[in-house]
Amino acid sequence: MSHSNKLVILDRDGVINYDSDEYVKTTDEWIPLPGSIEALGKLTKAGYKIAIATNQSGIARGYFSLETLNNMHKKMVDLATEVGAKIDYIAFCPHGPDDHCDCRKPLPGLIHQIEQALDFSAADCFMVGDSLRDLQAGQAAGLKAALVLTGKGQKTLDKSQGLENVAVFNDLNDFVDHLLN
């Protein structure tokens, strides 16, 4: 398994696209946050691999289908491709909170899936999220945690629990600019 810290793992909703308390249920509802797609382009051009780790319990809850999720991800990948970004892997947990899976964040199963798929150790890389469970999943797998204040990020910061050793950024673009400078 190759190892370098040139991998960034991102949560999806609230980091790359607008989040919704009612769930992002359709491709039309999947709307990128300002600057987020461009930030992915900067990462790729700087030699970083990009992976996404996202809880999508809306599938278990019957709010949308796997086909719809795949279409949302196709939209995200197409937008990323237009700016020269490559999303190397998308890992998602389709389960509900009571399914006792090992992939629902804050458990680190999605990160292990990404490591296996890319044959790449994520240790010491960054996990970027807007909720505490994103950061905890990353920390459980030996990653550094970065909180963005988009999505639920400001609420997470206001609660201020579990944020020792967590870097805080305004949004994904702010994180990327700090990482690359």
| Interval 77-105: pLDDT, tens | 999 999 999 999 999 999 999 999 999 99
pLDDT score, position 169? 98
Look at domain 2-180 and name its CATH class. Answer: alpha beta
Q: Is the peptide bond before 108 cis (omega within 30 degrees of 0)?
A: no
Residue 160 has pLDDT above 90, yes or no: no
156 within 8 A of 147, measured Cβ to Cβ? yes
Going from N- to C-terminal start, the domains of the chain cover 2-180
The set of catalytic residues is 11, 13
1 has pLDDT over 80: no
- pLDDT by residue (tens digit) across 113-130? 999 999 999 999 999 999
